[in-house]
Amino acid sequence: MDEEYVACLISCVIDGTTQPNKISRSKIRRILEEKPLLLKRIEQQSKKLPDATLLFEPEVLRLKKVVIKLAQGHALHEIHELCILQPSVVELKPVTDFFAEEWKSFANPEELCALPEVGSRAIQRLRIENDTFYLDWIHAQPNAYSYYVS
């Protein structure tokens, strides 16, 4: 399952290890203990650098599939937008690879050019500053998972 792979991979990256007993999230630790083939797959996608940190080379297509599925779900849930077509561009990039201006552009919500649909969750979260409309990031799992929909 792609979602399970991505969740386990992200936990391994965050914790800097593929050793299940050193994984901080108990659910992920259990999955890795119960699914040795998944653990082996992730281990094979990691290599130890000279400074002892792990570098992961994930299955990008699996990551993209999960990102697209999450984006489609968030768009439907937040702004009532059914996105059935595949996106023309999906870019995956570690936060550490952002340049300062890229991060500023990515992390800071832009002024809305149109208001969300009346009755949508987005309209309930609308923020108005100086007669300008914004939507903010949603922190679904603090320090773990946030998303932005506009």
Q: What is the pTM of this model?
A: 0.82
Closest C-alpha to 139, from 118, 128, 125, 123: 125
The β-bridge relationship of strands 138-141 and 132-134 is unpaired
- Which pair of tokens denotes residue 74? 């968030």
d(CA 8, CA 136): 28
Would you give per-residue pLDDT tens digits along the chain (150 residues)? 899 999 999 999 999 999 999 999 999 999 999 999 999 999 999 998 898 888 899 999 999 999 999 999 999 998 888 888 999 999 998 888 889 999 998 888 888 888 888 888 888 888 888 888 888 889 998 878 899 888
